[in-house]
Structure 1
Amino acid sequence: MNDQSSTINHFKRFYSHVNTANTVLQAYKGEAPFAHYIRSFFSQHKKFGSKDRKQITELCYCFYRLGKSYPQLSIEQKILKGYQLSKKEWPEEWLSFFEQYQLPKQTPENIFSFKDHLSESIDTAAFEQSHLLQPDLFLRIRPRQHKVVSEKLQSANINFIITENTVRLPNGSKIDEVLILNKEVVVQDYSSQRVSELLNIYKSKISHLKSVISIWDCCAASGGKSILAKDVLDDIKLTVSDIRSSILANLKKRFAEAGIKNYNSFVSDSTIAAPDQKFDLIIADVPCSGSGTWARTPEQLLFFQESRIAEYAKLQQNIISNVIKYLKPGGYLLYITCSVFAEENEEQTSNLTKQGLELIAESVLKGYDQQADTMFAALMRA
């Protein structure tokens, strides 16, 4: 087969993928996470191989990464424009292919439609443009596992970068076939790992204490922040809770893999949860808009409703108002969101200072310049 025929066949297959992506995008209405929807679609259409599924999914995400930019374009054109922007350089034949579709040359200007709500310290332009790329995969190396993790990744010929205890890999790397998850490494975004900075501030504040630290992780989910707290603070007495019994079952599995055995757990709504003790530290990684993670779930750029910001803020207020009643005198609250909205972040800590808590430290954990998520964390003292 000559080069010209190969190129024609290549674009013929690609165009077939674009057509399928177009069909999927027209059918999806945002009711469930797109990752769930596309898996269901492929389970009903068995003809697609793994490479086809990967390409079609990528094209759909390229469409969503443009947010509400280019309203004049068709779905097909937006797919192609998003795909064009997903790489900095293209071979000549691809440039000619894109040229056929008369794609706009101007930079997309309405990727993120909620700029008025952003925390003040965020670089709006850089944050908005970061949605054009899929974030990397990040792992946190657990204590005393650095050498074995490095050796295993090298032996498996996986491209990786290690900086201190953080491993950065291309998204989609099959690390569960190489490393023992939760024992050797924890899958945890770079910004989420940086919550350890506030845990270390807390550690320095209570360094004079001799007793075991009592911690309640009140929105524990699958336990990532609890494992982090264990690794940073070491000698802790841990209580975890979540409103979802199914996710606590996942937490128990992860804790077993992580070697965390002595802890209490209970199912409860954190707005009304009533543990039978008070704590030195409460970790509240609260439900939120997730707006700092939308580069991973870019369908939210189109389907998220602005009114939900206030709904999340109210829920967060209700959770915090309840859980701070279970702080010991002089105890600490570690408040965390994966949101970039001031209403969910600085405005919440401002409200807490009005309720008598002291703000020790707060930070927008910026990941948009690291191909990572963006989060918010604050440490406060009762």
Structure 2
Amino acid sequence: MDIPKIIDRHKQTAALLLQSYDHKEPLHLFLKKYFAAHKKHGSKDRKYITKLLYSYFRLGKNIQVLQQQVPLNVALDISCFITENIALPEFITDLYSGDAVSKSKKHQELTEPEDRFALVKTRYTDLEEKRLFPFQAAVSKGLDKTAIAYRLLHQVDVFLRVRVETGIQMEAITEKLLAAAVPYRQLSGTCISVPAATPTDQYLAINREVVIQDSSSQQMSQFMELALKELSVQKLKGGAGRGPLKIWDCCAASGGKSILVKDLATALQLPVKLMATDIRPGILKNLETRFKAAAITGYHQQVVDLTRPGPLPFQGDFDLIVCDAPCSGSGTWARNPEQIQSFEEQSLEDYYQKQTAIVRKAWSRLRPGGYFLYMTCSVFEKENEQVSRYIALNSGMELLLQKVVTGFAQNQVSMFGALYTRKK
């Protein structure tokens, strides 16, 4: 087996894919379609080609700078060395000093992509950290811009939320992972991470036992729990009606937040009447499948476009409204680094207009004494604090808690949350 020739073929395939990829769909879906149509690529081929492409995009705008100095195949070598520590380009080896033993020891010290990026910079001095994430002026205040840039060099783990609220035992889940020899880290009483591309569905019952959900997304529970506990107090005092709590997930997507809030309500012994809406019929089909696996019944789902003028196509007010608004997704770019290349900063105004239209329509159905949770997976102030400020100035609601959640230290995804209540 001629390994160098195989790698060269992989780089040729990666180059062709880069030419044909138009950024109109996520890279993982694009690759899934390509590999489905080209069965000649075995599992190892698919894995290496995928690493080449993701490594390329993880360099952000630096990749264009690098390609001005080296051919694409060399740029792929360098990006894969930085992000995956795969191979060591011969010309980079020259940067090490001393004999072969010293060079090997020096290389072993480069345990993080940041270290390897710094080494490459000594040869290609035009590479810059700010080009990893070139939109730093727009970032929410208080976020570490350097950390945001460097995290893009890292491949993100898969995070699992164990549904302990429904009686699933953490020990039972970890025992299954140990039996399957799957490496994992337990990050909290409900959160586990496993390496990317782990076939978790082979070992665990997805949605019934665990939900695949980034740790920062899981930590939105702090906002939900605050609202649910206050609503529970209202119930005890007779101020929230006698029936189940009415909760509306107004940008539900495939239902991860709905499952979370339902589980939290279950833990508090609060009966819930859940409504889930989204603009996309297909995504609500996915929600239906997930809810079935999660044993969630008695809910209502409906296709609703909250940006359209006119009244909502249903009646009634809600105790809690969860609005995970469509956004740039910049908090998830470590998982989807290809989006850095296609993103235009001026599009933030379009997102802002859409987000304010959505919250304006949604908050109209919040009852007095109810709670409104605004969320994004963005790191941009325009989509976060500025929308929250708009809500504060125009909704008649009171802000209770607002912050950017960056997940656990091992996580590479950020989310923003702002919890409001409508005073009686």
Same fold (TM over 0.5): yes
What CA RMSD, in Å, does the superposition of the two structures yield over aligned residues? 2.1
Are 1:78 and 2:102 counterparts?
A: no
1:314 maps to which residue?
Answer: 353
Taking the aligned partners of 1:100 and 1:34, their CA distance within structure 2 comes to: 34
- Structure 1 residues 98 and 225, CA, compared in 2 at 3 Å: closer, same or farther? same
Are 1:349 and 2:388 counterparts?
A: yes
Are 1:250 and 2:250 counterparts?
A: no
1:222 maps to which residue?
Answer: 254
Once the two structures are superposed, the pairs formed by residues 47-126 of structure 1 within 5 Å of their partners are 47-74=40-67, 75-87=72-84, 94=88, 96=90, 98-99=92-93, 104-105=121-122, 106=125, 108-109=128-129, 110-126=131-147
> Following TM superposition, by how much is the alpha carbon of 1:380 offset from its aligned partner in structure 2, in angstroms?
0.6
- Structure 1 residues 338 and 72, CA, compared in 2 at 3 Å: closer, same or farther? closer
> Following TM superposition, by how much is the alpha carbon of 1:100 offset from its aligned partner in structure 2, in angstroms?
8.2
Alignment match of 1:147 (pick from 144, 164, 171): 171
**What's the TM-score, normalizing by structure 2?**
0.83
Q: Is the 8 A contact 1:192 1:375 kept in 2?
A: yes
- Structure 1 residues 381 and 294, CA, compared in 2 at 3 Å: closer, same or farther? same
> Following TM superposition, by how much is the alpha carbon of 1:81 offset from its aligned partner in structure 2, in angstroms?
2.1
Compare 211-220 and 135-144 and name the one that shifted more.
Answer: 211-220
Taking the aligned partners of 1:374 and 1:47, their CA distance within structure 2 comes to: 38
- Structure 1 residues 254 and 227, CA, compared in 2 at 3 Å: closer, same or farther? same
Taking the aligned partners of 2:180 and 2:333, their CA distance within structure 1 comes to: 31
Are 1:138 and 2:162 counterparts?
A: no
Count matched residues: 372
Q: Is the 8 A contact 1:288 1:312 kept in 2?
A: yes
> Following TM superposition, by how much is the alpha carbon of 1:39 offset from its aligned partner in structure 2, in angstroms?
2.5
Specify the SS of the correspondent of 1:261.
coil
2:99 maps to which residue?
Answer: none
Taking the aligned partners of 1:134 and 1:268, their CA distance within structure 2 comes to: 35
Deviations 1:55-104 (A, max 9, x none): 011101111111111533223333222211114x67xx735375489954
Specify the SS of the correspondent of 1:336.
strand
> Following TM superposition, by how much is the alpha carbon of 1:45 offset from its aligned partner in structure 2, in angstroms?
3.0
Deviations 1:235-262 (A, max 9, x none): 2111111111221121111111111111
Taking the aligned partners of 2:197 and 2:209, their CA distance within structure 1 comes to: 19
Specify the SS of the correspondent of 2:378.
coil
Taking the aligned partners of 1:195 and 1:85, their CA distance within structure 2 comes to: 33
Q: Is the 8 A contact 2:377 2:416 kept in 1?
A: yes
Alignment match of 2:191 (pick from 151, 163, 166): 166
- Structure 1 residues 72 and 182, CA, compared in 2 at 3 Å: closer, same or farther? closer
Specify the SS of the correspondent of 1:72.
helix
1:373 maps to which residue?
Answer: 413
Q: Is the 8 A contact 1:66 1:78 kept in 2?
A: no
> Following TM superposition, by how much is the alpha carbon of 1:43 offset from its aligned partner in structure 2, in angstroms?
3.2
Compare 258-267 and 94-103 and name the one that shifted more.
Answer: 94-103
2:332 maps to which residue?
Answer: 293
Q: Is the 8 A contact 1:190 1:372 kept in 2?
A: no
Higher relative contact order (CA 8 A, sep 6+): 1
Taking the aligned partners of 1:104 and 1:19, their CA distance within structure 2 comes to: 25
Deviations 1:183-212 (A, max 9, x none): 100010110000001112213323312243
Specify the SS of the correspondent of 1:373.
coil
Taking the aligned partners of 1:79 and 1:114, their CA distance within structure 2 comes to: 24
Specify the SS of the correspondent of 2:28.
helix
> Following TM superposition, by how much is the alpha carbon of 1:123 offset from its aligned partner in structure 2, in angstroms?
0.1
Q: Is the 8 A contact 1:336 1:378 kept in 2?
A: yes
Alignment gaps of 5+ in structure 2? 96-118, 236-241
**What's the TM-score, normalizing by structure 1?**
0.92
> Following TM superposition, by how much is the alpha carbon of 1:375 offset from its aligned partner in structure 2, in angstroms?
0.8
1:3 maps to which residue?
Answer: none
Taking the aligned partners of 1:121 and 1:72, their CA distance within structure 2 comes to: 29
Specify the SS of the correspondent of 1:342.
coil
> Following TM superposition, by how much is the alpha carbon of 1:118 offset from its aligned partner in structure 2, in angstroms?
0.6
Alignment gaps of 5+ in structure 1? 1-5
Q: Is the 8 A contact 2:151 2:412 kept in 1?
A: no
Once the two structures are superposed, the pairs formed by residues 36-47 of structure 1 within 5 Å of their partners are 36-47=29-40
Q: Is the 8 A contact 2:375 2:416 kept in 1?
A: yes
Taking the aligned partners of 1:113 and 1:333, their CA distance within structure 2 comes to: 33
Amino acid at match of 2:176: K
Taking the aligned partners of 1:183 and 1:72, their CA distance within structure 2 comes to: 47
Compare 267-276 and 308-317 and name the one that shifted more.
Answer: 267-276
Deviations 1:354-379 (A, max 9, x none): 11221100111114842331111111
2:302 maps to which residue?
Answer: 266
1:209 maps to which residue?
Answer: 234
